[in-house]
Structure formats: structure tokens, C-alpha cells
Structure 1
């Protein structure tokens, strides 16, 4: 067996080097990311993102349309799903770290989880829309019956008396009275004549034609209503516009409450939501079994200094998976029907299988891991070396600090000088003014300069652990803000901005597509200015965008205005969050040893999934009891807290890359044989 493995190793080396080299001499070469290999590995993340992109957009709509759940209850259900993943992700990350046996010898540590986890998820997810289909039909009957009564005086008077002044039904007094100039009497007189149908351009945006009771009309025409009144079409349109701006969102909420009551009061409805939750939870368990192993595969095959660039490529592949999901649910929602949800889940399942086939055909995990070990050997990249480099850096900073302290001691001083004058005097003498972070580093080094190397190492490990916890805390707050928006995006667009679900999907897709352009340069940005600074820039863009959405985006009779403004600001937020997303995960695994990448990946997802377990419920409370647009103010506050926490992080940026030389044939053989032994 060993002889066979040795023969395979020699064959692999012959293929890679072309000719055997017995000498230890080689030319210096630069460390570069293997883009084709990273793209191949990225198919695993594409599988994950095609599912989660569809899940975040479609599941809230399904819960709303079929079961009539409130924002709070819908957030609670989606949060419980994430809570389940919170416990499973670290477990399966750690299990994949320690995996051994025949499958590992054949496929590697991560691949078996990816293959079997994907297959299980596909099987379960097919049944998610099936369990809700009958309830979706019953809910559609209820919604249609109430929508036929929107021009009935008795029905509407009772509803509008209930809605007036009640924020639970999206009554915005400032907007209705100050912006639209409607009095209480005018508000309560609002009706909706559904015989007037306005047909707009693509996806409801653009030029409009009108029909009344099936006949094409112009705004200047007069028509006879069901009440026997002769009214101008323009007056009916004005009244319908008032309904859309002031009443529609609240009416949708009220009708959803009736759907929910009917569901809870029938055995069929309770059975439907119970089966739905069981199948959804089984799907999420299956997804959780391979998410950490799939994400940990990139660090397994990528040297530490290249992981920001590698993560950028992985996220680009995830973006491709998300784009596939976007195309699926956008087309399905444009031609919306009761079967749309089943079509979406079925098509996403097919997409996951197709991506899995590509992954199996293109990825040889064991060979890729061995190659990474060779590269790390060539460029002297080891966990032990990194700790040594960190200690050396501290010692150099201590020497520099002492030298500058001696220079500062020779400066003329005057006790009467104010602090600003002292700083100016020091600056004039040629002393560099330090940033807050640099001052903190110097204080740390001065404090521990008298310790032995072993004691300094312990202090360093403690400092790195503190940075690790701060990184996780910052990631937690970032996802508190980000997931609050992403999990409610479809509902916000439909119920707060009165846009069609298909328009909301277009906005989501355009944001994903344009922001994906950032993936490649973002990896290089981190190499230039560091991961921490890149993350804080990304967070800053997100905060600005969320505040602008809160302040400037409102429902309008011309749907193009809120759609365009929201798309623009959401695009900027997406661009910023991609900058953060590319760099936060590499900061976490930068602090991990090679054998612990899966465990640290699990810690990363513990932070993200715990946030996603909590924030949908809190965001639902904000939307239900404060107002839907306050969702973005809540998200902005969360990201501001993430910025404040990230400010104090000191470790996690990539280490400096030293020039490397090609390994000899014998050195490569030894590395690969050691890898084989570790898999047994």
C-alpha cells in the first residue's frame, strides 16, 4: 500500500514539475493565489448561497401568503431556524476537522460532508412548499373575498376607523396629514375601486394605460360606478392612489390577521404549518451539516496570506449561486401563481445538484491540501513562524518605543505648556504623531517590555484571544444589522413601498450583481490597507446607506421613485457589506492553526447564526410597533456598534510574505507522505 502511494506521489510530482529536480537550488518566486483551484473549491459555497439567497427572499413571502404571520412571529420562526444552526455549525466544523476513515482517505475531510449534506437538503426542501400548498390555496380564497369589498362603505368605514391613529396598521400621521394634507374625514372616506385597472410598463414601472370594467379609458373620461355615481376616471385614480399610499399596507396587515385566525382555527391549517416547520427544520439541519466544512475548505487549500483574496473568489462563486437563485425566483414571481413557491424550491434543488456535480468532478481535496502544504513549506508559512513573527514585531516596537522615549526626554519642556503645545513641540522635533491604535500598541509593548520571551508569548496569546472575541462580537453586530434587512427585504418592498414582489426581487438581484464586481478588487484592497481598515470602510458605507433609506425612501404613486432610490441606497450598502464579508472570515481563521480551521469556521458561524437567530424577531417587533421604515435605523445602529468594536481589534491581518524557493522532489515527497499518514 505504501509503495503504491509512493508511486502516486512521484507521479504527481513529475506532472507538476515536468522534470525531476534532485538539487536544492531553485529560483525565487512570488506567492500567488491559484485562481482556478479557488474557483473550483467555490462551487461548494455556490451550493450554500443558491439555497440561502432563495430562502431569505422567498420564505418570508411564503409565511406571509400562506399563514398570515405577523412580522414578529415570522421573525421568531426564522430566528428559531437559525438558532438550530447555531448549535450544529460548530459541531460539524469540529467533526470535519477530526474526520478519519476510508471516505477521508479517498475524498478528504470536507468533501463527504458537502456531498451527503447537499443531497439530504435537496430531498427535504422539495417538501417545504408541498406542505404549505393547501393552506396557500385557502389563504388565497380569504384574501380575494376581502379585496372585493374595498369599495364597500360599511366594510371600509369600520376598517378605517380601526386603522386611524393605529401604527400597528401602518398609520403614519405625519405623512398622511403633513405630506399628503389629508384630514381625518378625508382619510376615512378613502375607498378603492378595483374596476379601474392601471397597467404599467415592465414590472409595474413606466408608462400606464387604464381600463375600467374591462374597457380602455383615459383619465379625462367619465364612468358610472356600481353605486350609480357618474365619476371622472381621474377622480377614481386619485382615490385609488390615496388607498395605495395610506391604507393598502394596513389593509394587507389586517387581511393577513384574518388568514392567520382561519389557519389557527382549523385542524387543516394547524397540520399544514406543523408539517411545514418539520420539513423546513430538516432542510436546515441538512444544510448545517456541510456549511462549516464547505467554508473551511478554502483555508485548507490556501496559505494564510492569500485568504482575503481567496475569500473574495469564494464569495464571487457564492454570488454566482445567489444570481442563479435570483433568476429562478424573479421569473417565478413575474408569472406569479399559487404554484410559484413549488417551482422556486424545485428549481433551486436542481441548481444545487448541478453545482454539486461540478464540485465532485473538479475538486480533488486531498491533492489540493497537499499542494497547499508544499507552498507553505516553500514560503516558510507555519503557525509557529507566525507566533515568532508576532513576538519579533513586539520586540522591535519595544526597541523603537525606547529609542523614541530617549529622544523625547531630550526635548525642552515647560510645565506651563498645555497638552497641545507639547504635541506641537514634539512634532516640530521630528517625532511622528501616533494614531490611537498605534498608541495602544506602544502602551502594550512598554507595559510588557521587562517580561521574558515565554511570558510575552503568553501575553501575546491572551491579546490574540481578546482580538478573536472582539472580531466575533463585531461580526455578531454586523449580522444583527445585515440580516434584519435581508430577511425582511421582500416584505418591506411589498408592504411598505407597495412594490410588486417581482420588483423587489429585481432590486435584490441588481444589488447582488453590481456588488459582485467588488469581490476581486476588495481582496487586493485588504492586501494594500489591511483587513481591519477595509472592514470599517465597508461598515461605514452600510451605515450611510441604511440612514438614507430611513430618511429618504417613502411609498409614492410613481413606483419608479421609491424603487430607484431604494435600489441605489441598497446597492451601496451591499457594496460595503461585501467589503466586510470578504475580510471578516479570513481574520477569524488567521488566528487558527491548520488543524483547527473547521472549528474556527464553526465559531465564525456561531457569531453569524446567533445574530440571525435573534435579529429577525427584534426587527419584527420594530416593524410591527414602531414602523417598517425604522427597520433601517435599527440596522444602522447595529452596524455602528460593529464599527466601534472592530476599532479595538489588533490581530487578524495577514502576515508578511517572505520570498520562497521551489522544493526539491524529495521534500515534496516527504510532505505528501506525511499528509497520507495524517488521514489514516
Structure 2
């Protein structure tokens, strides 16, 4: 979400009576952002598991698919944002895109569930993958060589079977495996199952092609209305109140994400593989359409825009920065800008790798569901925004970011040493991760736009999102490549390294750290939730 420029209000008599945010109106406007966030949370949780477990893609290939939405976003978000700026429709400039995009995305998303269900039935009836999966889905570090040996005997001849048998040769019959060998042998077995699913996919590629085509068009439809939905809030809110309104919009997004997480927990599809996701797809699609219906019933875009323009005229709100000279940026500030942007790139490289791969990692490495840890991370981030906003105003943005980066690195390193026996500690680790990420997110974007001048805020916002989205394109592929070659347990060490690098680049930043204004409690939530 964009932070707004400074304004002057040349009306003293009406300021107190009219300068209040209409929270109810803003909440209804935020329903569009709620359904967007709900979709992405469900998408990021479900789609990687389908690609890996049911179609047999390796980590690199599934990472490429998961990066597709960010590739599309680089081109489609600015395009549809520009297109909506030029639109003149009886429903307004933004609403038509929200209507069309939501309806088509919801139906396509639900349609993907039927393709997934068909592929699941093929695996059930034409392979023994699920029976083989049942042998290991609850196995932990206490399993002995004898138990693993029985599992190896059930396997078809393959390089995975050979590697597992060779690894077991170093142990006596009732010995437990070391942590590293346990992770390696379990990883080999899951890759063995995925290879069987891939053989099924290659033998009958039509199902996979249909799924990818539907996924592609779903992503396109989601891209058609994200920028218009985000732009709607500034369209209907006067400048001095946009910070508070932006906070409400982001809270609505958090509610949407938490709704998806709770849904996956209730349906019990967050821990095991080869489950039926039909109801998860259908319910998410249905809620999207319900939120759209309420949005259309309560939000009259043209009327709200007219009310906002009238209020601006009454209050004589003047944008002081429209006429500011655009001074050339000094070399020192330019270096700081680059360091901040590279810091953004590096910490997104670490963080997004974890959020993209956790739904595959948690069940297969820690024998636990991924929904509850994600829910805790979201909750602690929301709770943390208020004290983080207060502390940042006292000690400065850079120090708060460095604190968040250190805490994030510690969290990811701690997660890397967890096992199935100690996996319950992931709840604590991701709870602290939520606080760390909030500490970074609250302050990083303002530091970027602090270096802008006048009407350049939009351009600097573009810089920020270019670097963050570039990381989100690269890291699913790169982390997948590492996981394919070194096993799933490389995920958190990989993330830790990139977060540490971001500390180094951030440490040398010298500009953009002015003391923020004191904010109300609700304004402490004014961050980008992505």
C-alpha cells in the first residue's frame, strides 16, 4: 500500500468536525483486499503440495510454477492499474475490475479442484503411491534400521532404493539412524514417491496441462483487479486520513489470510499428502464471491469519490509537494537507497522461500501440519505492530529493522535444528518470526520513500516492489534447486544465509532514518502485509 504525501489543510473551522475516518466505509472497501489475501494464503499453501505430491514435480520445477504469479505481477499489475486509471464506467474506475476478476478467479480456482480431485483418484486407482506413503507418514527419528529396511523392501528398483539401502548398511539391525541420515533417507523416500507420480503425469499429461492452464488463467484474473482494488482506498479517502485507512485495509488483508489458515486447519488438509482439497477450493471460492457481493452492496464507488472530492473542496486540502523542486539525489543518499533495496531483496529471498516451501517441509520433515504455525506467525505480527510502531518512533527505523533481521536470522537458524520430536517448538519460532517480519516491514518501505521528493513517491514505491518481487521470482526456483540437491532440510539454512546478508547491507545504510511522526494506535498497522 502506498504512503501518502504531505498536505496542508487551509480550513480551521471544519477540521475537527469532519476530519474523521469513516471506519465502516473503509472496512467495506477493504473487503476486496480481504478476498485477495485469503486467496493467496490458500494458493501458497495448497498448490505446492499438489504439484509435488500429485503431479510429481521436483522442488525446482514446483518453485518455477510458484514464481509465475510474481512474473505476471511485474507486467500485469502496472498495466491494469494504468488501465483502471483511464476507465470510465457507471460502476466507477476500479469496481468493474474487482467484479470481473473476482468472479472469474473464483470459478477458475474452484475448477482447479476438480482437476486435482481427478488426479488424486488416478493415483488412488492406478498406482500404489498412497499405500507406500502410509508406511512413512507418521514415522519419526525413533525408527530403527529394521523398520526402514522393511520399507526399502517394498520399493521398486530405483536409484532411491539403492541409495537408501546403502545408507542403512552402516547400522546394526535395531540401531536408530542419526539425524542427518534420518532426514536423508526420508527425503529419498518422498522423492521416490514423487517420481512415481511424475511417471503417471508423463504417461497421461493432459490432466497436468489442464491444471497448469487453469492455474495460469486464475493468476491472470487475480492480477486484473489487485491494483484497482488497492487504488480504490486512496480514490475515496482524503489524503490526511489515508494512513489510517491504509492500516484498516491491511488489517482486512490479515483477516483474509487468517481465514484461509483456519479453514485449512478445520478441513484437516494441512498435514498429510494426497488429501482431497475439493472443499478447500470450493469454500475459498464461495467466500470470495460472498465478500464481493457484500462489497457491491455496500460500496458505491462513484458516490464515495464524489463525497471525497466535495470534502477536499470544503477543507481546502492542498498538496504542498506538487510544486516542490526535484533536487538531484546526492551520492550518499543514492548509495543508501541501493543498500536498502538490496536489503529488501535479500530478506525477501529468505522469508519467501520459507513461506513458499513450508507446506511441503513441515509435514515431511517435522511430521506436523503447517497451518497452525502460519496462524501464530500472522497473529504475533498483528499484535506486534503496535509496540513496534511505538518503539520505532523512539529509536528509529534502522535500529528496529536490524533488530528484526537479527531475530529473523535466529528464528530461521533455530528452525533448521528442529526435528520431528522437537517440532512443537516451531510454534514458538514462527511466533517470533511474525514479530521479526513486522519489525522489518513496518520500517523498510518508509525508509525507501523517505528518500523520494515531491511526486516521486510512486516511482520509489515501484523500486521497492521491483526488488521485493524480483526476490519472490528467484527464491522459489533457487531454494527448490538447493532442496533437490541437498534435501529439504537445507530450506532454513538457505533462508538464514540470505537474512544475514541483508543485515550486512542494512548496517551500512546512512539515510532514510528520520524520526517518524507519532501515530495513533490504528496507524501502527500501516504496513504492506505481503
TM range (shorter): 0.7 to 0.9
SS of 2:511 mapped into structure 1: coil
TM-score (norm 1): 0.62
Tell me how far 1:300 sits from its aligned partner.
4.9
Deviation at 1:28, TM superposition (A): 7.2
SS at match of 1:614: helix
- Decide whether aligned partners of structure 1 residues 62 and 598 sit closer, same or farther in structure 2, where only a CA change above 3 A counts: farther
Query: 1:204 corresponds to which residue?
Result: none
Contact 2:404 2:439 in 1 (8 A): yes
Number of residue-to-residue matches in the alignment: 485
Question: Which segment drifts farther, 474-483 or 275-284?
Answer: 474-483
**Alignment counterpart, residue 60 of structure 1, candidates 39, 45, 48:** 48
User: Matches of residues 55-454 of structure 1 in structure 2 within 5 Å?
Assistant: 55-96=43-84, 98-103=85-90, 106-107=91-92, 109-140=93-124, 141-146=127-132, 151=150, 154-155=153-154, 161-163=162-164, 184-186=170-172, 189=173, 247-264=185-202, 266=203, 268=204, 270-300=205-235, 310-333=245-268, 340-363=276-299, 364=301, 365-367=304-306, 369-370=308-309, 373=312, 377-378=316-317, 381-384=319-322, 387=324
Give structure 1 stretches of 5+ with no counterpart.
1-22, 166-170, 172-181, 191-234, 388-453, 658-680
Offset of residue 489 of structure 1: 0.5
The verdict on how the C-alpha distance between 1:93 and 1:243 changes in structure 2, with shifts beyond 3 A counting, is same
Q: Equivalents in 1 of 2:453, 2:110: separation in Å?
A: 39
Q: CA deviation at 1:343?
A: 1.2
Match of 1:518 in 2: 384
2:144 aligns to what? none
Residues 48 and 62, structure 2, Cα contact 8 Å, conserved in 1:
yes
Q: Which residue of 2 aligns with 1:566?
A: 426
Q: CA deviation at 1:58?
A: 0.8
Are residues 127 and 156 of structure 1, via their aligned partners in 2, closer, same or farther at CA, if it must alter by over 3 Å? closer
Q: Matches of 1:32 and 1:654 in 2, distance apart?
A: 25
Find the counterpart in structure 2 of residue 607 from structure 1.
Answer: 467
1:213 equivalent in structure 2: none
Query: Aligned pair 1:650/2:515, yes or no?
Result: no
> Which secondary structure state, in structure 1, belongs to the residue aligned with residue 57 of structure 2?
coil
Question: Of the candidates 409, 414, 418, which is equivalent to residue 548 of structure 1?
Answer: 414
Q: CA deviation at 1:136?
A: 1.9
Pick aligned residue for 2:371 from 505, 508, 515:
505
Contact 2:56/2:195 (<8 A) preserved: yes
Does the aligned pair in 2 maintain the 1:301–1:372 contact within 8 Å?
no
Cα displacement string for residues 332-352 of structure 1 (whole angstroms, at most 9, x for unaligned residues) = 235979673121111111111
TM alignment of 1:521-540, pairs within 5 A: 521-540=387-406
Structure 1 residue 142 displacement after superposition = 2.8
Greater shift after overlay, 83-92 or 368-377? 368-377
Distance in 2, matches of 1:73 and 1:632, equals: 19
Cα distance in 1, alignment partners of residues 491 and 275 from structure 2: 30
Structure 1 residues 366 and 308: CA distance shift in structure 2, 3 A: closer
Pair 1:605–1:287, CA change in 2 (3 A): farther
Structure 1 Cα separation of the partners of residues 428 and 352 of structure 2: 19
Based on CA coordinates, which of the two structures has the bigger radius of gyration?
1
Against the structure 1 CA distance between its residues 157 and 42, is the aligned structure 2 distance closer, same or farther, given a 3 Å change threshold? closer
> What is the CA–CA distance in structure 2 between the aligned matches of 1:351 and 1:510, rounded to whole Å?
22
Q: In structure 2, what is the Cα distance between the partners aligned to 1:153 and 1:281?
A: 38
Change (3 A) 1:60 1:271: same
Look up the match of 1:42: 30
RMSD: 3.9
Q: 1:533 to 1:75 in 2, by over 3 A?
A: same
The TM-score, its normalising length taken from structure 2, stands at: 0.78
The alpha carbon displacement at 1:247 in A equals 3.9
Verify the 8 A CA contact 1:110 1:293 in the aligned structure 2.
Answer: yes
Q: 1:349 to 1:377 in 2, by over 3 A?
A: same
Distance 1:132 1:481 in 2: 30
The answer to whether the Cα contact below 8 Å between 1:534 and 1:579 also exists between their aligned partners in 2 is yes
> Shift of residue 474 of structure 1?
3.0
- Residue-by-residue CA offset, 1:580-621 (whole Å, 9 max, x unaligned): 334444555667789887776555443333221110111112
Distance in 1 between the 2:50 and 2:428 partners? 27
Structure 1 CA distance, aligned partners of 2:309 and 2:390? 26
1:135 is displaced (CA, Å) by 2.0
